[in-house]
């Protein structure tokens, strides 16, 4: 009788544990994450690769590109740039690896292709980002509000009264026609609300990637070299216009290529 009773109790206990575990798993797999969190393949909420990478069910998942890009843009690589920003920098805490990877998930061509090509492109992108933002310190152009950057001849994306289109974001998006086109592509009102580029970190990175994919991607992936991307971003620096800025961009590019274990290739300078 004692043996039978103990077995019965043990059996009931095991059943209870299994049911409890199953209930917890089912609850977890429902996710119901906050909008800024990813639902992982196992049904739990978070923001790291384990949640937003492979198998991510909902939320700001990295997407087809972001998954492979995440393997290259590691925490160590990204934080190696971001940690150089001082405590008083506006970009401190704004520019995050999670926001970048979420944005990258919307651009399947970025960082794709052969390993060397992908690593070279990512090194080039972050070289310009580092130069433009002072190692992810600045969200907005210094004294940007004092500049108009309104092309009144552009009728497709006309300037809105009271709005300014100075540099904002990782690649310092500038001019009304860029804000208008980027907003139309990404899904925000760039002409009426240019400030969102300095307030929403995912949109901010998306504008940089939008500009990159439209102006720099083919140059670096087709073998034209890093110099061609300098000319695409700020051609006035080339041919003696600002040798110091060119050298800064090139130095960052060489450094990041070294970190990512890839040869920088030819035509490095413009």
Q: What is the pLDDT of residue 78?
A: 98
Tens-digit pLDDT profile for residues 39-97:
888 888 987 767 877 677 777 676 545 558 999 999 999 999 999 999 999 999 999 99
Residues 196-224, mean pLDDT to the nearest whole number: 97
Query: Mean per-residue pLDDT for 144-150?
Result: 88
The average pLDDT across 94-101 equals 96
Name the DSSP letter for residue 41.
T
- Which has the minimum average pLDDT: 32-36, 100-104, 184-188? 32-36
The predicted structure's pLDDT at residue 248: 98
The per-residue pLDDT for range 114-123, each reduced to its tens digit, is 889 999 999 9
Confidence of residue 34 (pLDDT cuts 50, 70, 90): confident
Note the pLDDT of residue 169: 98
pLDDT of residue 270: 94
Q: Is 230 helix (H, G, I), strand (E, B) or coil?
A: helix
Average pLDDT of the chain to the nearest whole number? 87
Q: Where are the alpha helices (DSSP H) in 46-145?
A: 49-52, 63-72, 75-82, 97-104, 115-133
Say what the pLDDT of residue 49 is.
Answer: 67
pLDDT of residue 65: 52
Residue 243 has what pLDDT?
A: 96
For residue 112, pLDDT over 50 is answered with yes
Overall pTM surpassing 0.85 (yes/no): no
Work out the pLDDT band at 8, boundaries 50, 70, 90: very low
From CA 96, how far away is CA 87, in angstroms rounded?
15
Q: What's the rounded mean pLDDT across residues 226-239?
A: 96
What pLDDT does 30 receive? Answer: 62
pLDDT for residue 46: 85
168 phi and psi, to 5 degrees? -140, 150
Is the confidence at residue 36, as pLDDT, over 80?
A: no
Residue 52's pLDDT is what? 76
Give the CA-trace dihedral at 160, 164, 165, 171, to 10 degrees.
-150
Mean pLDDT of all residues in 194-217? 98
- Quick check: 147 pLDDT over 90? no
Q: Which of 24, 121, 132, 140 is catalytic?
A: 132
Closest CA to 255 of 112, 98, 80: 80
Is 132 annotated in the active site?
yes
| Both tokens assigned to 44 | 């739990």
Diameter of the chain measured on Cα atoms: 96
User: What domains can you pick out in the chain, each with its CATH number?
Assistant: 31-60 (no CATH), 62-142+201-260 (1.10.530.10)
Helix/strand/coil percentages in the chain, nearest 5? 55, 5, 45
């Amino acid at each position: 009788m004692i043996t039978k009773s103990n077995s019965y109790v043990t059996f009931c206990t095991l059943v209870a544990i299994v049911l409890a575990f199953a209930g917890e798993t089912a609850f977890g797999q429902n996710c119901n994450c906050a909008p800024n969190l990813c639902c992982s393949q196992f049904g739990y909420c978070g923001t790291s690769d384990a949640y937003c990478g492979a198998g991510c069910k909902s939320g700001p998942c990295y997407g087809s590109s972001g998954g492979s890009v995440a393997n290259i843009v590691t925490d160590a690589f990204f934080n190696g740039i971001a940690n150089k920003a001082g405590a008083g920098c506006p970009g401190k805490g704004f520019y995050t690896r999670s926001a970048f990877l979420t944005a990258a998930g919307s651009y399947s061509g970025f960082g794709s292709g052969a390993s060397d090509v992908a690593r070279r492109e990512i090194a080039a992108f972050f070289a310009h980002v580092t130069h433009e933002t002072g190692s992810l310190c600045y969200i907005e152009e210094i004294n940007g509000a004092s500049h108009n950057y309104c092309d009144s001849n552009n009728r497709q994306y006309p300037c809105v009264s009271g709005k300014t289109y100075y540099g904002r974001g990782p690649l310092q998006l500038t001019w009304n026609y860029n804000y208008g086109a980027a907003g139309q592509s990404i899904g925000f009102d760039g002409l009426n609300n240019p400030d969102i580029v300095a307030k929403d970190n995912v949109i901010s990175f998306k504008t940089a990637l939008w500009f990159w994919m439209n102006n720099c991607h083919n140059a670096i992936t087709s073998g034209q070299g890093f110099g061609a991307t300098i000319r695409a971003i700020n051609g006035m620096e080339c041919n003696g216009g600002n040798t110091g800025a060119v050298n800064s961009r090139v130095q960052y590019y060489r450094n990041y290529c070294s970190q990512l274990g890839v040869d920088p290739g030819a035509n490095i300078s413009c």
